[in-house]
């Protein structure tokens, strides 16, 4: 049925469908993370996926606590959005060749998942607050904080370690090119000075 449904007639219905959506999503993500960790070649990225698997299991438990507070059994609602994101990531991993590029692709796929979750958790927190279900908010906020922290770690890895390798960006070679430019400037200055001195001598002879 997905995140939005014809059966939604109240904010409480919307909240419950959102909760079921995320419960389904977290369980699907938990199934996908071991494969992503296996394909990662960067040690930090691999460890990050393994850590987030543990976090995801904790997030599922917190969602089950929210279901309990809402006096209903934990139940997932099939979500085409997260299925599509995970499918795209899986297909991408099957097409990439090269370890560095694979890691970059994994980061991008993982961040697409995180951004989806961050948006959904933000909405659930807002709805729970409006419904006066402040008892549910701490669990949802804890999950949201972990998703944001994971997204930040992925961004840091992409910017500092993974992307520069894949793109072949120069690192140690940059100072050398600067040195060459500095040397050429030093050579150019005496030549210009000699030219000015020669012009002065020519004027004196005249």
Give DSSP secondary structure letters for 31-71: HHHHHHHHH--SHHHHHHHHHHHHHHHHHHHHHHHHHHHTT
- Binning pLDDT at 50, 70 and 90, where does residue 196 land? low
Same domain, 110 and 206: no
Query: Are the beta carbons of 52 and 33 closer than 8 angstroms?
Result: yes
Q: Which residues contact 67 (CB under 8 A, 6 or more apart)?
A: 19, 23, 73, 74, 75
- My answer on whether 201 and 135 are in the same domain is no
Query: Do the Cβ atoms of 16 and 70 come closer than 8 Å?
Result: yes
Rounded to two decimals, the pTM is 0.74
For residues 98 and 183, state if they share a domain: no
Give the structural domain span for 202: 171-206
182 and 161 within one domain: no
Q: Which of 76-80, 116-120, 194-198 has the lowest mean pLDDT?
A: 194-198
In a domain, 6, yes or no: no
Number of domains into which the chain is organized: 2
Q: For residue 116, is it within any domain?
A: yes
Task: Answer yes or no: do 144 and 192 share one domain.
Answer: no
Instruction: Tell me what pLDDT residue 7 has.
Output: 77
What's the pLDDT band for 95 if we cut at 50, 70, 90?
Answer: confident
The pLDDT of residue 58 is above 80: yes
In a domain, 1, yes or no: no
Q: Please choose, from the candidates 9, 28, 121, the residue with its C-alpha nearest in 3D space to the C-alpha of residue 66.
A: 121
Q: Do residue 162 and residue 180 come from a single domain?
A: no
CA angle 140–32–162, rounded 5-degree value: 95
Which CATH number covers residue 105? 1.20.1260.10
Q: Are residues 183 and 143 in the same domain?
A: no
pLDDT band at 202; cut points 50, 70, 90: very low
CA 28 to chain centre: 18
> Looking at the structure, do residues 176 and 119 belong to the same domain, yes or no?
no
How many Å apart are CA 144 and CA 119, to the nearest integer? Answer: 9
CA distance linking residue 136 with residue 201, whole number of Å: 89
Specify if 111 maps to a domain: yes
Q: What is the mean pLDDT of the chain?
A: 82
pLDDT band at 163 (very low <50, low <70, confident <90, very high): low
Residue 203 and residue 148 share a domain: no
Q: 159: which DSSP letter?
A: I
Residue 109 lies in a domain: yes
* Domain shared by 69 and 21, yes or no: yes
Percent of the chain with pLDDT over 70: 75
- Whole-number pLDDT of residue 109: 93
**What pLDDT was estimated at residue 180?**
45
Backbone angles phi, psi at 149, to 5 degrees: -65, -40
**93 vs 86: CA distance, rounded Å:** 11
């Amino acid at each position: 049925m997905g995140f939005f449904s014809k059966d939604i007639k109240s904010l409480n219905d919307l909240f419950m469908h959102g909760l079921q959506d995320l419960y389904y999503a977290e369980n699907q993500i938990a199934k996908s993370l071991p494969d992503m960790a296996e394909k990662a070649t960067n040690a930090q990225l691999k460890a990050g996926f393994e850590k987030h698997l543990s976090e995801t299991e904790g997030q599922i438990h917190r969602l089950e606590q929210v279901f309990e507070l809402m006096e209903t059994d934990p139940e997932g609602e099939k979500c085409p959005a997260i299925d599509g994101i995970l499918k795209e990531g899986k297909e991408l991993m099957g097409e990439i060749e090269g370890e560095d590029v694979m890691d970059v692709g994994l980061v991008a796929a993982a961040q697409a998942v995180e951004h989806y979750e961050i948006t959904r958790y933000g909405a659930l927190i807002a709805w729970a607050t409006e419904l006066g279900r402040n008892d549910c908010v701490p669990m949802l906020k804890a999950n949201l904080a972990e998703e944001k922290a994971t997204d930040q770690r992925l961004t840091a890895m992409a910017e500092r370690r993974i992307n520069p390798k894949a793109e072949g960006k120069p690192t140690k070679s940059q100072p050398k090119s600067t040195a060459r430019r500095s040397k050429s400037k030093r050579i150019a200055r005496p030549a210009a000075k000699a030219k000015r001195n020669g012009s002065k001598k020519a004027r004196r002879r005249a």
